[in-house]
Structure 1
Amino acid sequence: MSANTTARTVRRRTLRIAVAALTAAAGLTLTACSGSDVAGTEPAGQSGAGTAVESSGPGSGAKAQGSGGEAGSGAEAGSGAKADTKAGAAAKKPGGANAAGSGGAGSGVDRCHTSGLKAAFATGEDAAPDPNAGGSTTTSVVLTNKGSRTCKIGGFPGVDLKSENGGERWSLARSSAKHGSITLGPGESTDFTINVALTKEDKGFYQPAFADITPPNETKSLTIKWPWGTLVDQRSATHPATFVNPIG
């Protein structure tokens, strides 16, 4: 075999090896693209898991007010499901805030805070509870927006009656009345009523000296003097005749 023939043979082998290498590289490229497409379908599967978690929402609805994340943490469906659940919770947050009567970011009106309110018993002639009416009479507490901004308020306030030295407290029960919310401009007022069971007996009575009024969704209270007489002592009763009605 001549030197020229040998050189041509070597070149053909070199070309075949190069073509084979290019073909293999092309195959690897196609495989990588296919793998990327498969990976791209994973979010749909994760979305399905997220939907399954949200379908258990009614069971976790009561927890939403205290902690928005508890519904997601309760279903250990994997990190993808948790992420989808958190995203869903974030999307629902503004609506939940409004439902809770907290003022609502959507409306642009914040809830009324304790620091922006003042409280007082309505003590006009028509506002005085009838001492002979037993548990069917009421007294009213007026809440006034003393701030410079409009705020929203609604729901049940907390009412704690306390004795002169503060040693005997009575946290009043709440009625089953429905309520809405009220928007208060600067200087505007609203009120809520307390059903009271007054008594003239010298036994089995409770004499309040002050009332701590805690606005809805707040933790700080406003202390005002109790202007009326003694109440039937029903602090341990299941259905006391002295109880709180809602604002709005």
Structure 2
Amino acid sequence: MSSSTTARTVRRRSLRIAVAALTAAAGLTLTACSGSDVNGAKPAGRTDGGAAAADPSGADSSAGAQGSDAQAAPDAKVDAKAGAKAGAEGKQSGGAHSTGGGGAGAGGVQRCHTSGLKASFATGGDATPDPNAGGSTTTSIVLTNKGSSTCKIGGFPGVDLKSENGGERWSLARSSKKFSSITLQPGDSTDFTINLAMTKEDKGFYQPAYADVTPPNETTSLTVEWPWGTLVDQRGATHPATFVNPIG
């Protein structure tokens, strides 16, 4: 083979090798671009949440929070309904209990009303006031629960003395003693005392014929006959010696 022929052969081989190398490089370049596009569409190890975390606006993050709220809302509604039902049952139970108490006050015991009480003076023995004791003697009025229910009473009763014809009335003053409530079962009694300034003088006296007794917190009275003698007339006195003490 001539030298010129050999030179041409070598150049063809070099060109084929160069073309093959270029083709291979182009293929690699295309393959790399294709892989980048796929990975860009679906980056490995990344989610929308990850992208949101990187977003300073936090728009996607707030969307995630709304999704959480939406998930919690059904549970909240269920809890609210359960709470409302429990509250309604509690109110019904309380109402039934209150109704069972008959609308009574504390402890289910109502106060004593005039219609359920009987009044009378305590008489006999030590209950009789000493007509010679001046203002240091006392009389007692007994209040009895004549009803069929237990009741509670306490405080100062009102006592109005009145003459035979009812024209001369004396509303007795009250002492400063403290008082408490007393519970009366049916048939039980309690009492209160009246300090008396009695007199045998035929001047400056007051002769009661009846006593109108009004139980505490009531507006109607019970009338009982006055069984004792005359009192010093102190209806206009600032500090009369005849006055009422509290019940019990």
Q: CA separation of 1:118/1:203 partners in 2, compared to 1, >3 Å: closer, same or farther? A: same
| Partner residue in 2 for 1:160 | 160
Paired residues in the alignment total 146
Q: CA deviation at 1:104?
A: 6.5
Structure 1-normalised TM-score? 0.58
Which has the larger Rg?
2
For the residues of structure 1 that align with 2:237 and 2:209, how far apart are their CA atoms? 21
Distance 1:104 1:130, change over 3 A: farther
The amino acid across from 1:222 in the alignment is L
Q: Counterpart of 2:35?
A: none
Distance (whole Å) between structure 2 residues aligned to residue 106 and residue 202 of structure 1 = 51
Give the alignment of 1:57-136 within 5 angstroms: 105-136=105-136
- Tell me the TM-score normalized by structure 2: 0.58
Structure 1 segment 134-149 matched on structure 2, within 5 A: 134-149=134-149
| Poorly superposed stretches of 4+, deviation over 6 Å | none
Deviation at 1:107, TM superposition (A): 1.5
Amino acid aligned to 1:130: D
Task: Give the Cα separation in 2 of the matches to 1:141 and 1:244.
Answer: 10
- In the alignment, the residues of structure 1 paired with residue 104 and residue 179 of structure 2 have an alpha-carbon distance, to the nearest angstrom, of 17
The amino acid that maps onto 2:218 is E
Unaligned regions of 5+ residues in structure 2, if any? 1-102
Cα shift at 1:106: 2.3
Q: Show the counterpart of 1:228.
A: 228
Q: Could you say which residue in structure 1 is the equivalent of 2:247? A: 247
CA distance in 1, matches of 2:124, 2:203: 29
1:162 Cα offset (Å): 0.0
In structure 1, what is the equivalent of residue 201 of structure 2? 201
Identity of aligned residues (%): 84
Residue type of the alignment partner of 2:126: D
- State the 1:169 CA deviation: 0.0
Q: Distance in 1 between matches of 2:229 and 2:106?
A: 44
SS in 2 for 1:190: strand
- Could you list the per-position Cα deviations for residues 86-121 of structure 1 after superposition, in whole angstroms to 9, with x for gaps in the alignment? xxxxxxxxxxxxxxxxx9622110000000000000
Q: Alpha-carbon deviation of 1:188?
A: 0.3
Separation of aligned partners in 2, 1:150 and 1:124: 28
1:137-188 CA-partner distances (Å, limit 9, x unpaired): 0000000000000000000000000000000000000000000010000000
